[in-house]
Structure 1
Amino acid sequence: MTDLRRRFVEQLRRHGAPLTPELAAAFASVPREIFVADGFQRRDGTWAEPGTAGFLETVYQDEVLVTKVHGRTPVSSSSQPSLMAVMLSALDVSAGHRVLEIGAGTGYNAALLSAVGAEVTSIDVQADVADRARAALTRAGVEKVRVIAGDGYAGAPGQRFDRAIVTVGVAGVSPHWLQQTGPGPIVVPVEHAGTHPVLAVRGTMDGPVTATVVCPSGFMTAAGPLTAQHARAHPHPVPAESLATFAETAPARWEQPLDPYEYRDLWYAAGVWHTRATQAALPGRDGSTLTLLDETGTGGAAILPDGSVMAGGGGAQRYTAEAVEVLDRWDAANRPPMQAWRITLERAGDPDTPIWCPAAWELAR
């Protein structure tokens, strides 16, 4: 193990990644740089290539590495390693397990699965991405991984798996994955209030299908039937330039603002209780904010980490009241973490290409 990868594993532990000895050994042994051989986009928009100053040091940071863009939109990446560790831990893979992976990305996630002894079939809708992942896996000497270019909605017809993991944001779960994985679990980021919390899903292709929340996350969005609209779909995230002017309409309720994880817990609950909850970039504020978006898509009310509310547009007063109600309900429920919710999924989408989508929630007692 190189010093870079040793420090990498230590960094993942500091960031709270649940590393079993087997998973730690995988991160320590798999050379991530092989899977970004064509480089990646830096935060400033420039392209980092192998051999340039700081390339390896950045590769072994706990950061997303964007490896393909369409215009200005990222369309493929190597996910944040600590998030990968959380998802792989939830997958609970043992040597000999057969794993279906939807979204090959760079191939790095499949290589980690192989390092813990899994046999992987990885599917990516982008043929060039699949080709690069396949080539990287070959260069790295990774065995027992097959990469297929195709629509991940169908999974791998005629095959059976012990587990499935999805590395792209979806609106719901394909019944084909449920059929091919038996009891599961399927670890999958499913859209909720403009983000993609990771769920552990279990069930059969004909139901019932249930899930628990693993962790918060944000992923690039899939294409095709996996993005179908459904009764509980939330509005898409909103950029700052689309919003009316927002001003404070309710004061802060907490002297100590919520930390990022608590804020995500509130955000998840808001998405359960309000179908217009999403994320928005408020003018003049850094980062994304939990927002109850009005029907015009330009106004509504934003809930800040200190419990204050900012609102704008014609329905500002009504949406402020609804935001305050969300805050009251979350406080009254003793600020439940997102992992406390138990989810029931229902069949939705196009009848010819249905998906199982979150439809009902209850708090664990």
Structure 2
Amino acid sequence: MASSAQPRRRFAERLWREGAITRPEVAEAFATVPREAFVTEGFHGRDGTWVAPDAEGFLDAVYTNDVLVTKVEDGRATSSSSQPSLMATMIEALGIGPGTRVLEVGAGTGYNAALMSATGARVTTVDVQPDVVERAGAALASVHSTVDLQLGDGYAGWAAGAPYDRVIVTVGVAGASPLWLDQLAPGGFVLAPTRHAGHHPVLRVTRAAGGTVHAAGVCAAGFMSAAGPLSAVYPGAHPLGGDPLPAATVSHPARFDPPLDVFGYHDLWFALGAWDSRTTYAHTPDSAGNGGCALLDELTGGGAAIWPDGAVDGSGPNARAYAERASALVDRWLASGRPAVPAWRAPMTLDGDPASPIWVARDWRLVPGDLQEP
């Protein structure tokens, strides 16, 4: 295989130009750590086809700003190398540097842990899948990484390495394990992609001296979901969604030209989820399986889909009411100044499985821009 030194450097420069990377040490990590070392058996491309390591264009496929799925079970992705721009955003949000003690929940391929370690952080990563740990261990050894890799249940964290200055979660969860917070050093925080209205925006979770726990929005994200107590459904949670809505019978016209980009659309989606507990992910018969934000009518079927161009499609027995409600929520988002994900804060309460509870966010509120985390 040809050397990846030049593709790595070009890729890091591209992420810098696009604004995904703003810190030189993070750019250097991306330019130094070979991503292909962590997908030596190949991966599934976005279109589902298998990309083998001896395939023509393998390195080009590796150094794209895309997720590389490395394990699929029963048609569901269970391990991957995440989208690099999202990795960079989350690593920068951690604010790590030489000596920072980091616990990563969800080792995946090991690439993210290696990137953090390359900044000088002391990284422990844990994964519950033995085969995933075995492959990640081989990859980390091949690049001479000092990451401490452990086999274990992510819900439990890794007490042997505590305390940690940061905990980063690289799998979609329904809430934060109390054990992660217990293993934090004073002033530390958890960064976790947390289920909200059918997707997994990244939240920063902190515990105050008095024991209260709060969440702050960081950025939009998409992650495969965890299993077990970290995926618990609790009272008041948004519908899980995923099923197709009936054909639309009521439509409200588009209002954004050009349509919202992926970030703006997820900002809108987050706000709708904060204001209406019926918000989730759904797709329609004519969307070719490409779904989006929707208000779900769980009682009678149907609801309303809200698209990136602002159009609303209502369906089911209450199509008109749901379409009007969805359009009113879009109006509210516009009137509020199009708040982005980082503009939101919420207290958290314990819920989920009583034997293995999780901290979940409730009662999201907007905060002034000058009070938002950098």
Range that drifts further, 10-19 or 303-312:
10-19
SS at match of 2:188: coil
The aligned residue for residue 289 of structure 1 is: 292
The aligned residue for residue 209 of structure 1 is: 213
Cα deviations by residue, 1:312-364 (Å, 9 ceiling, x for unpaired): 11121221222122122212212211211112111111222111001122111
The aligned residue for residue 168 of structure 2 is: 165
The separation in 1 between residues aligned to 2:65 and 2:258, in whole angstroms, is 28
Does structure 1 residue 233 correspond to structure 2 residue 240?
Answer: no
**Gaps spanning 5+ residues in structure 1: where?**
none
Range that drifts further, 270-279 or 287-296:
287-296
Does structure 1 residue 112 correspond to structure 2 residue 99?
Answer: no
Structure 1 residue 255: Cα displacement: 4.6
Task: Give the counterpart letter for 2:231 in structure 1.
Answer: T
Task: Give the counterpart letter for 2:345 in structure 1.
Answer: R
Task: Give the counterpart letter for 1:293 in structure 2.
Answer: L
Task: Give the counterpart letter for 2:259 in structure 1.
Answer: P
Task: Give the counterpart letter for 1:347 in structure 2.
Answer: L
The separation in 2 between residues aligned to 1:364 and 1:243, in whole angstroms, is 34
For residues 232 and 87 of structure 1, do their structure 2 counterparts lie closer, same or farther at Cα, with a shift above 3 Å needed?
A: farther
The separation in 2 between residues aligned to 1:165 and 1:71, in whole angstroms, is 27
The aligned residue for residue 99 of structure 2 is: 96
The separation in 2 between residues aligned to 1:361 and 1:260, in whole angstroms, is 22
Cα deviations by residue, 1:133-152 (Å, 9 ceiling, x for unpaired): 11110111111x12112210
The separation in 2 between residues aligned to 1:90 and 1:340, in whole angstroms, is 15
**1:1-365 to 2 correspondence within 5 Å?**
2-143=5-146, 145-158=147-160, 159-182=162-185, 183-203=187-207, 207-239=211-243, 242-285=244-287, 287-296=290-299, 298-365=301-368
Structure 1 residue 73: Cα displacement: 1.2
SS at match of 1:162: strand
Structure 1 residue 307: Cα displacement: 2.2
Whether the aligned pair in 2 keeps the contact of 1:94 and 1:118 (CA below 8 Å) is: yes
SS at match of 2:125: strand
Range that drifts further, 169-178 or 221-230:
221-230
The separation in 2 between residues aligned to 1:206 and 1:263, in whole angstroms, is 36
For residues 305 and 44 of structure 1, do their structure 2 counterparts lie closer, same or farther at Cα, with a shift above 3 Å needed?
A: closer
Whether the aligned pair in 2 keeps the contact of 1:99 and 1:119 (CA below 8 Å) is: yes
For residues 322 and 21 of structure 1, do their structure 2 counterparts lie closer, same or farther at Cα, with a shift above 3 Å needed?
A: same
Structure 1 residue 227: Cα displacement: 0.9
The separation in 1 between residues aligned to 2:20 and 2:47, in whole angstroms, is 27
Range that drifts further, 246-255 or 98-107:
246-255
Structure 1 residue 29: Cα displacement: 0.6
The aligned residue for residue 372 of structure 2 is: none
The separation in 2 between residues aligned to 1:65 and 1:115, in whole angstroms, is 21
For residues 205 and 247 of structure 1, do their structure 2 counterparts lie closer, same or farther at Cα, with a shift above 3 Å needed?
A: farther
RMSD: 1.8
Structure 1 residue 204: Cα displacement: 5.8
Structure 1 residue 260: Cα displacement: 2.3
The separation in 2 between residues aligned to 1:116 and 1:266, in whole angstroms, is 34
Range that drifts further, 95-104 or 252-261:
252-261
The separation in 2 between residues aligned to 1:163 and 1:244, in whole angstroms, is 44
Task: Give the counterpart letter for 1:266 in structure 2.
Answer: L
**Percent identity (aligned):** 51
Total equivalences in the alignment: 362
**Gaps spanning 5+ residues in structure 2: where?**
369-374
Whether the aligned pair in 2 keeps the contact of 1:67 and 1:78 (CA below 8 Å) is: yes
SS at match of 1:360: coil
Task: Give the counterpart letter for 1:356 in structure 2.
Answer: W
Structure 1 residue 298: Cα displacement: 4.2
The separation in 1 between residues aligned to 2:125 and 2:254, in whole angstroms, is 47
